[in-house]
Amino acid sequence: MFVCASTECLPDMPLSAAMARLAELEFTAVEIDIHEKGGHLTPAQVVADPEAAIAECSDRQRLRPVAVSFAASETPETYDQFEACSRLAKALGVVTLVVESSELGTPFNGEIERLRKLVAIASGLGCVVAVKTASDRMTQDAETTASLCRNVPGLGVTLDPSHFIYGHKKPASWEPILKYVCHVHLRDSKVDVPQVRIGQGGVEYGKIVAQLERVGYKRALSAHMPPLEGVDQIAELRKMRLLLESLI
């Protein structure tokens, strides 16, 4: 296992500046967000000028890209955008593509069809789709997420343990999806607060690392923490890096 950080941790900086700051904080690997809203680089920009997108993401300040996070509204253009981002990932030597699941209420069979299309596109370019666990989406429940993986051959999971803590009277189990995990997002959370300062929530980082070691996980532990109002984000990122490095 190794530690990385998402560029989503520094949303108010240009992509190059965010990468430079992460390098200054002694991170050596990075997850690049390509989101329709709030991203440093949007899917539409990647489609419009793939070479410029590659150049922008290649200015890595000694950071090794290990994942690309894709988020876009469901439109007829979505699959073309995803393919463009998959090609970008391949050009960067990235295997893992993080995607969102559909919102709760989406027909199960419809979600399977959507994910199968994404997996087909990504696998054709040597990439792996890792659907991320999230509240108010189809992956908020571990059993449902595991069922998606069983019905979509090649689908992996991005585990965000905070969603199994926030909103639950006691932490929910994510055991059913451990064998499908190919990327991890980490922050700290409480039952009634989705994100708090590192060390003030209920995320048991040591236990998570032990669980992942048990299933042979050897990929990234990604700091994935949007800034909190009134909190020094740089200090929080440094704290997270040191904490995770101490566990591996």
Q: What is the pLDDT of residue 170?
A: 75
Among 73, 143, 166, 67, smallest CA distance to 114 is for: 73
As a whole number of angstroms, the distance between CA 134 and CA 219 comes to 20
For residue 15, the domain's CATH number is: 3.20.20.150
Number of separate domains in the chain: 1
- 22-79 confidence digits (pLDDT tens): 999 999 999 999 999 876 899 999 999 999 999 988 866 688 999 999 999 888 899 9
As given in the structure block, the two tokens for residue 44 are 């539409």
CB 157 within 8 A of CB 209: no
Residues in contact with 236: Cβ distance below 8 Å, sequence separation at least 6, in sequence order: 197, 198, 225, 228
Q: What is the pLDDT of residue 166?
A: 86
Domain span holding position 66: 2-247
As a whole number of angstroms, the distance between CA 39 and CA 15 comes to 9
